[in-house]
Structure 1
Amino acid sequence: MPSTTGDTRAESHRGLSAVVVIGLSVSLFGAPLLGRLDVPRWVDASVTRSFLANSLASWLLVAVLLVIVVYWEQRRLTSIGLRVPSRREAAVGIGAGLGGVVLGLIAIGVAVATLQLEQPETLSAINRLSLPVQITIVATAVITEEILWRGYPIERLTELTGNIWIGATVSGVVFLAVHYPAWGLVGAIPQAVFTLVIVGVYVWSRNVVACMCTHGVINTLTILVLPALL
C-alpha cells in the first residue's frame, strides 16, 4: 500500500464529537435531504436547470464540508484524503476505472438478459441534455461525490471505529441507497460494481483524487461515450 502523509495515516484514535456528527451528516445525508426539498419543482425549472441545480447543491455541500474540516475541526484537507496522487496511484485509479466499466457492463448485460430490465430514465434524461451540461454534471459528480461519500466519511469513521472496512462499508451502502431512487435496479447493479471498485481504490490509496480518476473514467465512458456510440 502506498505511503501517505502523516495527517491521513497517523491521526490518533478520536472519539465521537459534535463536529464529526455534523460532518458525517453533511457528507452522507446532505444530498438526499436537499433532494427532498425539490427546489427545482417549486420554481417549475426545466430538466436542464433541475440537473444544474442538483450539481450546484453538491458543490455547496462540499464547500460546507471543507469549511467544517478546515475551520471547525482545524485539520488539513489531507485528513480526508485530498492530496496530489503519485503516478502509481493515478495509474491504478485510471486502470481500476477501465476495469470497473468492463465488470459493470458484464453485470448489467447479465441482469438485462435475465430480468428484462430497461435503461433507467435518469440516464435517458441525461443523454437528452446538451454536451456542455452533460460534462458539467459528470465533472460535478466525479469531484463532489468522492469528497462527500469517500474521503470524509471513510476517514472519520475509520478514526471512530479503528477499522477502515467499517467506514468503507458504511459509505458504500449509503452511497448506493442514496442513488437507488433515481437509478432503480438496472442502475443499482452496475453502480454496486463501480462503488466496490472506487471504495477499493480508496482503501488502497487513501487518496480522494485517485478515486476521482477512477470515477472520472467510469462516468465518462458510461454516461458520455458509450450512449453516444449505441
Structure 2
Amino acid sequence: MDVIQRIWKDPVGANVIAGVILLAIGAAWAALSGLSLDHPVSIQLWILVIWGVLSAVAALYIVRTATAKPAPNVKPPQSARPSKENKIVIERLTKPLKIRFIFVTAPGYGTSSGQREWEHDYLEMFRMLGPKLMAGAEEAVVKRYLDRILLDGSEGKYMSLHVLDEDFHSLKVKLKDLGLITLMPVGKDMQWELTAEANELLPKLTYRIGK
C-alpha cells in the first residue's frame, strides 16, 4: 500500500495504475463476451464508448479509494478562558517589588522632599489594591488610590506622595501578566478589573496576611 501511495503522488504513476486496472477490466470483459482475434465480435461504437468511460471511472475510483488518506483530526476551538500559563501562581506573586515615589515630608521630619522606594512584593500590592478593583475602577482612580494608601502607610511622615508614572505603568502590565487584572479601554482612560481567579483569591489573601 505504501508503494501505491508513493506512485499515486506522481500524476504519471497514477495514470499508469489506472491504465493497468483499465486493461484488466477490458481483458475480463473480452473473456466474458467471447471476443478473440480469431473470432471478432461486432460491437456498436456507442457501447465501446460507454464501456470505456465506465472502466476509466471505475479505475480511478479504485485507486483513489485505496490511496485515500484519513481526514485530519480537527481539534475544536479552545475556550476563551486564560491558558494555564496565565493562571495565578502564588509563588510568582511573592517576588520582590519596588515602587518609586516622590514625596514632601511633614513638618518636623527633616528632608522636605525627595524620592524613595516602597519595597515589598506583588502579593502585598494586590492585597492593597484588590478591594478597590472588585467593582472595577478607572486607571486615574487607581493611581490616586495607590498614592493615598502609600501615604497612609507612612504614619504621618509624608505630607504628600506620588508614585512615578513609569513604575505605575510597569505595575499595571505586571499585574495583568500575573493574571490578577484585566484592562478595558474606556474613553481616554483604562478600566481595571479583577479577573475571576483574583476575585476568588482576594478573601483568602486578605485573611492570611491581615490576621
TM, length-normalised to structure 2: 0.25
More strand by share: 2
More helix by share: 1
Bigger Cα Rg = 2
